[in-house]
Structure 1
Amino acid sequence: MMRLSGIASQLNCLPTAEMWQALRSRFDSCQNKISDEAVEGGVGSACSKKVRNPEQNLRGPWYLASGFLLFWALLFFAVVMPLFYRLPKGLTIEDASKGVFIAERAHNNLYEFDEIGTKVVGSDGNENKTVDYLLGLVAKIQENVLDEFFDIEVDLQEVSGSYIHWTMINKYQGVQNIVIKLTPKNTTSESYLLVNSHFDSKPTSRSAGDAGQMIVAILEVLRVMSTTRQTFRHPIVFLLNGAEENPLQASHGFITQHKWAKNCKGLINLDSAGGGGKEILFQSGPNHSWLMKYYKNYAKHPMATSMAEEIFQTGILPSDTDFSIFVKYGKLIGLDIAQFINGYTYHTKYDRFANIPRESIQNTGENLLSLVRALSNATELDNTAAYATGHAVFFDFLGLYFINYTESTGIILNYSVAGAALILIFVSIWRTASISCVSTGYVLCWFILILVLQVIAFVLGLVLPIAIAYAFDKYGLSLTYFSTPALMIGLYICPSLLGLVLPSYIYLKLQRSDKVPFAHRLQLVLHGHAVVLAILGIGLTLYGLRSAYVVTWTLIFYVVPLVINLLTTLHDRGFSWTGVLKIFQIIPFLYNSYLIYTFVVTLTSMMGRFGRSTNPDLIISALNGLGTILAMGFLIPLVNMFRRPSLIVFSLLIVSALTIYTATSTQIGFPYRPKTNVERVPYLHVRRTFYEYDGTVVKDDSGYLFNFQDRRGPAPLKMSKANLTGLVSIAADCDKIMMCGMPLYDHRWVKNQKQIMWLPREELINPPYVPELELLGKTELGNNTTRVRFKFTINTTDHTSLFIQPFEFVNITNWSFQLEYIGQQTTYHVYFSYGKDSSPLSFFIELPKANGDFQNPLFQLGVSAHFIGNKGDELSQKFAQSFPDYAVLIEWSTSYQRFIF
């Protein structure tokens, strides 16, 4: 064992071509020394007299290797893809009985909802037309309520408030909620179930997907619940909120101020980052794993994964939902569910009724109706604190079955499976040594090298796709897969497969020892991959990630066939062990490819709005690499069962090379397509006016302010008719001028400020009006007059940002906004918007100064007023028309004034 330890300690890196001969000589020496020893288990000389079966080294014909890989590809396209996109039949009014969800009725409502047009907070479309339309639908439902079973109350809430959201104060005024409470007769429960979604939209969007389809689904569930002879335990509050995109204002107004809010204990939140397919449960709880039991038992079309929950809660994705507001300010627990397919239309003018099939609404509606019925009868809502049992591990298998267990159970399972795998692999090594007439130490000696090679294979399987992504981005070719996702096969999946198979291919090609049959050497390769997964699973569990379940369940379906093979003679009979393995690998292959495909579908469209600072290809390539490792890690080495596995290696190289050529040299690799895969181009028509302390104007100019949404930025547009000559980054100004001297729209624009670009325009822009900031008073306070209060009022637009920056040695100590925000930023950002109430914004600011000298500048104040929906003057409209048809413009006029007080 001393000699083995010395040899193993030298195997910490992959031998190079020059080192291989030396390593081989060393291992030959190891073989000679160890093989002279008695074989463990007492088989010694008797084993040495056995005649080895030559069939143990027989390999299949070379052409079956391609058929082997083709089988798994066909399995994906024949099983995973159809089940991923499978939707139930959309029921019509004629063919459905009472008490069920009717998609046709909801779909018809969605058509009329879409016809209203855009629904930006503060617009007539949102505050009047949409509210009136939805109240009309609610009134029709009220007319048919079973009065002997239910009471129904409707409240139109108009609410104002503010809170700190990320890096800004989010202040709202007169935003609206339509709130409906359905109460069963004679109920004594004071715990309500809240069902929420939103009807407002982003500029240019008609919001059929985000989230009109959810609104009409909620109303259909309300109709069914109120017209069906049934009973349930808890009242249900249906919240149709009118300011989610602003962001998350109406939900905050409801949960902090509405008369029914304090009774809401459970939540089903519905949102969308796409539309037209299934919806996914991507957040639950928090800390209430029992909710997953209800989802498992009552969701008719389950789709969920706790991996999505962990990814979303990192904050790396450019999205948020009302769920976070309800949890933070209302201490609610519940389910966060969202549409995610076809995210290319999200927040664009193409988010239309035509993209939402009836079947998609049926899928959402059936799930929602069943969950509402179940949770409105949940005894756990009576006292949710008593059921805080920790987080849950949850996932669906191809939408056919749902699996869930508690986080503590998951930890035990992860460690148990990893431990069992390590023990069984040692037993297999011992068994291999026994039937090969060598010592266990001899096999362990080679297994150490194999393990190192499999670590390298794992790394290569992940790194090679990432390296290609890095190279593409370096040459300005990111997002080549954006409109042609099939390119990922050659760009990322084939290189990952190549990385996984290459180390074992080289090892099996060069390792010539006949003491261990080839079939068992191949089995040792798979054991090496299993050890890597076991160590990874233990590491992820120690780190506290519930997503370790993916590794554990992948490993389970290697451990089980290994047990079967060890309990039978299949383990010892050539390649016979591969039969059981391949059968069991069907399940992890289907699940892992399904899981990763879900993330690829979700995130690929998001990469079009991920910003310029991050290379999105690194995310997509890593995702593809990880999926390939999980789905094919135990399968791709099996190509060595066949003769000439080099043909597979070269085929993977050829496919990758052809794909790279196609992506870089043809139109197929261009990311954008009109209507379906668009480039998002948000920009503002800006009029800037800078006032000095004495009121004189020191700058008065105009231009277009671009906040490009994807990695390629303005590069694709420079080949179009749009004249972007003079476009420059504003980053240099951001360190010298408050908020770069620009009318940054909201917290996302502020966060992205150094990536924003400015295109000067000679002719001044005249916005619809310029808000007038009025200084109502400047009052010195305190006995020693060491503080001064400025009081302002401004009659501004329904979307305005205020930027406040004290000068050096001056601090704000009091103001009209959240006091806890003071000191959190060097430049304060107050985002203000209003719905029905357009009254002026009034506020005060107090600043101290030790010497009491308030005759010098104390702070800067920027007023960024946005006229959403205004297309600008003739020159601006002509400029907009020059953009290519694959560019979706999100633009409006903006006034920016900088004052010094």
Structure 2
Amino acid sequence: MWQAIRSRFDSCQNKISDEPIEGDVRSASCKKRVLKQEQNFRGPWYLASGFLLFWALLFFAVVLPLFYRLPKGLTIEDSPKGAFIAERAQNHLYGFDEIGTKVVGSDGNENKTVDYLLGLVAEIRASCLDEYFDVEVDLQVVSGSYIHWTMVNRYQGVQNIVIKMSPKNTTSESYLLVNSHFDSKPTSRSAGDAGQMIVAILEVFRVMCTTKQTIRHTIIFLLNGAEENPLQASHGFITQHKWAPYCKALINLDAAGGGGSDIVFQSGPNSPWLVEYYKKSAKHPLATTMAEEIFQTGILPSDTDFGIFVKYGNLIGLDIAQFINGYFYHTKYDRFANIPRGSIQSTGDNLLSLVRALANATELDNTAAYATGHAIFFDFLGLYFISYTESNGTILNYSVAGIALVLIFVSIWRTANISCVSTGYVLSWFILISVLQIIAFVLGFGLPVAVAYVFDKYGLSLTYFSTPGLLIGLYICPSLLGLSLPSYIYLKLQRNFKVPFAQQLQLVLHGHAAILAILGIGLTVYGLRSTYVVTWTLIFYVIPLSINLLTTLHDRGFSWTGVLKIFQVIPFLYNSYLIYTFVVTLIPMMGRFGRSTNPDLIISALNALGTVLALGFLIPLVNMFRRPSMILLSLLAISSVTIYTATSTQIGFPYRPRTNVQRLPYLQVRRIFYEFDGTVVKDDSGYLFNFQDRRGPAPLKSSKVNLTGLVSIAADCDKVMMCGYPLYDHRWVKNRMQIMWLPREEPIVPPNVPVLQLLEKTDLGNNIMRYSFICEKPSDHTSVYILPQEDVTISNWTLPLEYIAQQTTYHLYYSRGTDYSPLTFSIDFWKQDADFVVPVTQIGLATHSIGDDGDAISQEFAKLLPSYAALVQWPALYQRYIF
């Protein structure tokens, strides 16, 4: 083959030497031949739209059906023995939903739900095979505290239902822990988060203990009653329960939605063998390393028990969650009706297979021996699961990038041979094209981000929230326009008659591949495991390029595009599937991402990334057809129409009642400030709004509610301790600069008015005085803020010692379940002059009456808010003391 090329090259050289050459331009006859060849090869202009339409149809015909595919939910009558039966779990979920809300400390959570679940456990236990298994059930009531983010998280009397299923005569002291939670956020019935996981665990327990089988290890099924509080019951179990020290591996189940498949979004740490078990066991795999790395950055407004078990129990495991339809997550619409039977079956099939596999895993005997680094894992359309170690991934990334760059150089040399020019000549054009492709990359990301920035600037963020189809015109079309514009201009304006047009187009794709190769090398050096996405995208360019180079297809006009398009089907399907997974997950999250960040920047960048990965090698191929400008104009037209629709019609309004709600948490607040001598210097009332999304109060201005006087509390935060308001938890504290206050003339009368009392002062010597405090009958959710005077420091207290000096204002978040004993704590203050007759510290007591609708005025105020607003509100009292 190479001899034929050399012969052809020599022949070409002889031809050219006989023709007149002027500068860098071929003879008129050569130029005419090249132009005629281009006219013969380039297809009709209307086929370009058909080319792009094919890929769009491929997405809708393949990706979407596979993404939303669910197994048939098995019924009690027709299910095979030893299988997970979704109908039974669904029946249990109905009863779970009927209980109502399950906030920690409420009767619904501490009594009704616990009794209901214990009843189900007793029924299952009665049917277990006693000759195969020993089953014990323990109701743990636990108290404790730990530092969570910027606060001390103190819990009192929270509950765990702990089920221990041990194989007869087992000698293993390694337990598998399977965990989920049954408590809820206020207003939520928690059918999705995480009732569906609780009933799945119970059904797996039933199948496991009623099936004649041999397992190696004991299984602990933990139904924890305080995850939303946050993460308290899991901490109580792993630090205090008698069975906790034997737990070695974990399957954690949670939800940020419901109604689809569940995804593995955290694994390990340093235990790739767990991913291998998932690979072999999961019947409906859905997982990606990219989700793990994104979640572990902490940018998402969610957390799970997984981190508690890893940090305080040194466990390894898999973190699995439902995520589709996250619009109803943590709202009153989290109901039984939103959880289809097929979704429960999908979770149950995966969980049952995984529990069976890990319960027999020899690795559980000594997990430390198998701590061999991280894993890279991902599924392909839910059909196949691919995993390998991080070290193998590093080798693969470097190898693919290196091979790609070598093959590109070989292609350049080959192009020079068939074009009768030097390799350096083609290489110089390739460098120019590569620069243009870098510009294309910048535009491919920059144009969608620019649209997002402009929309946000004019108060139009989240236009896609209820109509995700707008993303196509808002972000995908501008990204395609940016990707294709530089190569179109180059191919339109260049006057290079020495290199055939088809090979120039090939150089454009080589430029894109070279950028991906360099990017893959850089991200691998950085240590990003998600680089696998770039690598696998590049692999399916390297393979067709190799085939074309090994045949004559590389040299025959546009023939090389045929193999390329065939192989591009796989990365297109995967990358569009991957990014769609994140789009489905993140768009509902943007409704609770807060006001300080423009969510459109995240969504636009995500769509741009998907466009670059899925269509980066395809969109330049529109230049194979005549008049590619028609495609660019069409993309521009689609974007223009979409922008008009999003800005000028109701379609672009973010919220819809029931389905796409505006999350609207606010408090009915009474504030009382006491001076050092006990006199009241402030007593006012109002509504404290913690708007959850970028639009803030703007959508409410068109409603019936009167928002006159609504102001930010940011100015107060610079003047008084913790802004002087009953901020609910660490998320409210973190978001305090965005919270707003609406004064109310009529005073709010809280249903509970606890008093913080200084019990005694004890002189400990060395300029240290101990202050002992008690709060009788605190609310089941109470925050205490502590701010010593400037000349006072804290030397010790009954809170975690490591929290001292971590914050300027200390935050104690307290909640209780079944233990109603008073809240007590003591603080040791140190002063240089040992004068403790004067003020030493400010203490703020914020008590919350969750579940109370408030007085008649507050209830009437709530009725005036629009129907698309999902309200989460209750009375709260803030008392500022000086001791």
Tell me the TM-score normalized by structure 2.
Answer: 0.97
Tell me which residue corresponds to 1:846: 828
Tell me which residue corresponds to 2:842: 860
What amino acid is the match of 2:822? P
- CA 1:465 to 1:39, structure 2 compared with 1: closer, same or farther past 3 Å? farther
Select 2:131's aligned residue among 148, 158, 172. 148
What amino acid is the match of 1:323? F
Structure 1 distance, partners of 2:514, 2:466, is 38
Tell me which residue corresponds to 1:227: 210
- CA 1:276 to 1:326, structure 2 compared with 1: closer, same or farther past 3 Å? same
Select 1:802's aligned residue among 767, 775, 784. 784
What amino acid is the match of 2:842? Q
**Does the 8 Å contact 1:780/1:789 carry over to 2?**
no
Select 1:489's aligned residue among 463, 466, 472. 472
After TM superposition, give the deviation of residue 723 of structure 1 in Å.
Answer: 1.1
Structure 2 distance, partners of 1:777, 1:631, is 68
What amino acid is the match of 1:561? P
What amino acid is the match of 2:655? Y
Structure 2 distance, partners of 1:676, 1:86, is 21
Structure 1 distance, partners of 2:469, 2:38, is 39
The reply to whether residue 407 of structure 1 matches residue 390 of structure 2 is: yes
- CA 1:509 to 1:731, structure 2 compared with 1: closer, same or farther past 3 Å? same
The reply to whether residue 163 of structure 1 matches residue 131 of structure 2 is: no
What amino acid is the match of 2:798? S
Structure 2 distance, partners of 1:583, 1:660, is 34
SS in 2 for 1:120: coil
Select 1:655's aligned residue among 633, 638, 641. 638
Select 2:226's aligned residue among 239, 243, 250. 243
Tell me which residue corresponds to 2:865: 883
**Does the 8 Å contact 1:803/1:827 carry over to 2?**
yes
After TM superposition, give the deviation of residue 778 of structure 1 in Å.
Answer: 1.6
Q: For residues 74-89 of structure 1, what are the structure 2 equivalents within 5 Å?
A: 74-89=57-72
Structure 1 distance, partners of 2:510, 2:15, is 24
After TM superposition, give the deviation of residue 42 of structure 1 in Å.
Answer: 6.3
Select 2:798's aligned residue among 787, 810, 816. 816
After TM superposition, give the deviation of residue 775 of structure 1 in Å.
Answer: 1.5
Tell me which residue corresponds to 1:337: 320
Structure 1 distance, partners of 2:44, 2:845, is 75
The reply to whether residue 837 of structure 1 matches residue 783 of structure 2 is: no
Structure 2 distance, partners of 1:812, 1:627, is 52
Structure 2 distance, partners of 1:278, 1:720, is 38
What percent identity do the matched residue pairs reach? Answer: 78
SS in 1 for 2:263: strand
Tell me which residue corresponds to 1:391: 374
- CA 1:380 to 1:41, structure 2 compared with 1: closer, same or farther past 3 Å? farther
Tell me which residue corresponds to 2:524: 541
**Does the 8 Å contact 1:234/1:377 carry over to 2?**
yes
Select 2:122's aligned residue among 132, 139, 146. 139
Unaligned runs of 5+ in 2: 1-5, 19-29
The reply to whether residue 787 of structure 1 matches residue 782 of structure 2 is: no
Select 1:607's aligned residue among 568, 571, 590. 590
**Does the 8 Å contact 2:767/2:832 carry over to 1?**
no
**Does the 8 Å contact 1:807/1:859 carry over to 2?**
yes
Select 2:662's aligned residue among 668, 675, 679. 679
Q: For residues 89-488 of structure 1, what are the structure 2 equivalents within 5 Å?
A: 89-488=72-471
Structure 1 distance, partners of 2:7, 2:560, is 23
After TM superposition, give the deviation of residue 793 of structure 1 in Å.
Answer: 3.7
Tell me which residue corresponds to 1:34: none
**Does the 8 Å contact 1:39/1:440 carry over to 2?**
no
Tell me which residue corresponds to 2:879: 897
After TM superposition, give the deviation of residue 292 of structure 1 in Å.
Answer: 1.0
**Does the 8 Å contact 1:611/1:709 carry over to 2?**
yes
Structure 1 distance, partners of 2:391, 2:422, is 40
Tell me which residue corresponds to 1:12: none
Structure 2 distance, partners of 1:769, 1:864, is 11
Structure 2 distance, partners of 1:690, 1:891, is 23
Tell me the TM-score normalized by structure 1.
Answer: 0.95
**Does the 8 Å contact 2:286/2:379 carry over to 1?**
yes
What amino acid is the match of 2:420? C
Residues 270-289 of structure 1 show CA distances to partners (whole Å, capped at 9, x for unaligned) of 00000111110000000111
Structure 1 distance, partners of 2:776, 2:438, is 64
Structure 2 distance, partners of 1:364, 1:225, is 16
After TM superposition, give the deviation of residue 47 of structure 1 in Å.
Answer: 6.6
The reply to whether residue 869 of structure 1 matches residue 851 of structure 2 is: yes
SS in 1 for 2:794: coil
Tell me which residue corresponds to 1:751: 734
Select 1:590's aligned residue among 560, 573, 584. 573
**Does the 8 Å contact 2:793/2:830 carry over to 1?**
yes
Select 1:826's aligned residue among 775, 791, 808. 808
- CA 1:41 to 1:642, structure 2 compared with 1: closer, same or farther past 3 Å? closer
The reply to whether residue 715 of structure 1 matches residue 715 of structure 2 is: no
SS in 2 for 1:812: strand
Tell me which residue corresponds to 1:9: none
- CA 1:378 to 1:195, structure 2 compared with 1: closer, same or farther past 3 Å? same
Residues 305-337 of structure 1 show CA distances to partners (whole Å, capped at 9, x for unaligned) of 000000000000000000000000000001000
After TM superposition, give the deviation of residue 592 of structure 1 in Å.
Answer: 0.2
Structure 2 distance, partners of 1:793, 1:591, is 57
After TM superposition, give the deviation of residue 531 of structure 1 in Å.
Answer: 0.5
**Does the 8 Å contact 2:93/2:199 carry over to 1?**
yes
**Does the 8 Å contact 2:401/2:517 carry over to 1?**
yes
Structure 1 distance, partners of 2:654, 2:504, is 45
SS in 2 for 1:864: strand
- CA 1:675 to 1:120, structure 2 compared with 1: closer, same or farther past 3 Å? same
SS in 1 for 2:854: coil
Residues 779-819 of structure 1 show CA distances to partners (whole Å, capped at 9, x for unaligned) of 2221x554343443432010000000001111111111001
What amino acid is the match of 1:680? R
The reply to whether residue 565 of structure 1 matches residue 533 of structure 2 is: no
**Does the 8 Å contact 1:265/1:381 carry over to 2?**
yes
The reply to whether residue 62 of structure 1 matches residue 45 of structure 2 is: yes
Tell me which residue corresponds to 1:556: 539
After TM superposition, give the deviation of residue 49 of structure 1 in Å.
Answer: 7.1
Tell me which residue corresponds to 2:21: none
**Does the 8 Å contact 1:43/1:437 carry over to 2?**
no
Residues 78-130 of structure 1 show CA distances to partners (whole Å, capped at 9, x for unaligned) of 00000000000000001112100000000000001000000000000000000
Aligned residues between the structures:
863
Tell me which residue corresponds to 1:45: 13
SS in 2 for 1:280: strand
Structure 2 distance, partners of 1:163, 1:731, is 29
SS in 1 for 2:558: helix
Structure 2 distance, partners of 1:308, 1:49, is 60
Residues 604-630 of structure 1 show CA distances to partners (whole Å, capped at 9, x for unaligned) of 000000000000000000000000000
After TM superposition, give the deviation of residue 735 of structure 1 in Å.
Answer: 1.1
Structure 1 distance, partners of 2:408, 2:316, is 43
- CA 1:183 to 1:644, structure 2 compared with 1: closer, same or farther past 3 Å? same
Residues 848-884 of structure 1 show CA distances to partners (whole Å, capped at 9, x for unaligned) of 1121111111100000000000100000000000011
- CA 1:785 to 1:582, structure 2 compared with 1: closer, same or farther past 3 Å? closer
Structure 1 distance, partners of 2:864, 2:676, is 40
What amino acid is the match of 2:187? T
Deviates more, 1:365-374 or 1:441-450: 441-450
Structure 1 distance, partners of 2:15, 2:738, is 71
What amino acid is the match of 1:690? F
Tell me which residue corresponds to 1:13: none
**Does the 8 Å contact 1:793/1:843 carry over to 2?**
no
**Does the 8 Å contact 1:786/1:850 carry over to 2?**
no
Structure 2 distance, partners of 1:853, 1:248, is 41
Structure 2 distance, partners of 1:75, 1:371, is 33
After TM superposition, give the deviation of residue 187 of structure 1 in Å.
Answer: 1.0
